[in-house]
Amino acid sequence: MTTKIFALKNAWFCGLKTIQNINLKNFSIGAVTRAPVNLKGRSFLTLKDFSSDEIKHLLWVSRDLKHRIKYEKQYLPLLQGKSIAMIFEKRSTRTRISTETGFALLGGHPCFLTSQDIHLGVNESSADTARVLSGLCDIVLARVYSHTTLEDLVKDSSIPIINGLSDLYHPIQILADFLTLQEHYGSLSGLTVSWIGDGNNVLHSFMMTAAKLGVHLRIATPEGYDPDSSVLQEAKRLSEKHGTQLFLTSDPVEAARGSNVLVTDTWVSMGQEDEKKQRIKDFHGYQITMQTANVAKLDWTFLHCLPRKQEEVDDQVFYSSRSLVFPEAENRKWTIMGLMVSLLTDYYPQIPKPRF
C-alpha cells in the first residue's frame, strides 16, 4: 500500500514538472538540455566560420539575456572586471551604442577608440596593436574599412576579435536580424528572405547564415552590383548542403515573389560617396514599396539595418505595422551582449531553447 501511494505521488510530481516545462510561445517544449556548444575564446569575423548549432546557440543566449534583463529586471554582472576595446574606423550609431551600453550593463568597462585615438595601421602595425590590446583588454570589437585589418588583428591577438563591420561582412547585424525574425514568426526554418539592393557586406553575411538556419534566400541586385563571387560559391554549397533555395535575379519584383521577409540596405556605403550619383541611377526601380510587397506572402515583414534613405524604401512600408526595423535595431544590443558573453564566459542559457 505504501509503495502504491509513493508511486502515485511520484507520478503526480512528474506530471507537475511536465506542466512546468510547457513553455511560452516560440519556445520548445521540455526541460533545458545542455548542448555541446562552447564558444569561449573564439573570434567572430564571419558567420561562415560558425555552424548551425553554434549560431542557434548565440541566438538562444541573446534571447535569454533579453528575457532575464529586460523582462525579469535581473542584474547579471557576467562581464564584471572585464574590458573591451572598441576600435571604430567608421562611425556608427547602433554598433557603438549597443556594444558600449551592453558591455556596461553586464558589469564590464567599454573603451571607445576612433582613428584619432589609436595608432592602428598608422604609427603602429596591426600586429603590435593586437599584442598591446591583448595585454590590456579581454576582447576587441573593430569596425573597419578592410576585412584584412581584422584578419591581421586575429593573427597576433590572444583575445577574441569581433567584426563590428568590414567591407566584406557584417555578422553582428545578421544575428540581430535573425533574432528579430525568430521572435516575430516563432521559428526560422522554412522562411523565405528576399534581399533587394546592393551585393554588399550585409548580404554576404545573410548568405553565410540563412541556409544554416533553414532559411531560403532570394536576391535581386542590379547588374554590376552582384555579391562577391567567392561568397556566392560558398552560399551555393551551403544551400545544397542544408536543402534550402538560393535564387538570384536582377528583377526586384521577382525576388520578392512568395517571400516572408523583404530586406534592403543603403545603396551608398561609407567610402562610396563619390559614386552616389551613379549608384542612385543604377538602382532605379529597386525601392521597396507596397507594390513590391503585393507579390510577397500575406505575412510579409520588412527589415533594414539603418540608417535608411527614402529612395531605398518608401514611408508607407518603412513606417507600417509590417516594418520590424526598430525591434531589429534594439536587438543589436541583445545579440552583441549574447555574443560577448559567449566568447568570454561559460554562461549557459536559463530559459528553454527557442524553436528554430
Could you give the residue numbers annotated as active site?
305
343 contact partners, CB below 8 Å, separation of at least 6:
39, 40, 41, 42, 43, 44, 139, 160, 162
Beta bridge partner(s), residue 196:
220
259 HSE (CA, 13 A, CB side): 27
Q: In what order do the strands lie in the sheet with 216-220?
A: 246-249, 216-220, 192-196, 261-264, 301-304
Identify whether the C-beta of residue 160 lies closer than 8 Å to the C-beta of residue 43: yes
Beta bridge partner(s), residue 288:
313
CA distances from 280 to 266, 277, 283, 307, 312 (A): 10, 5, 5, 16, 9
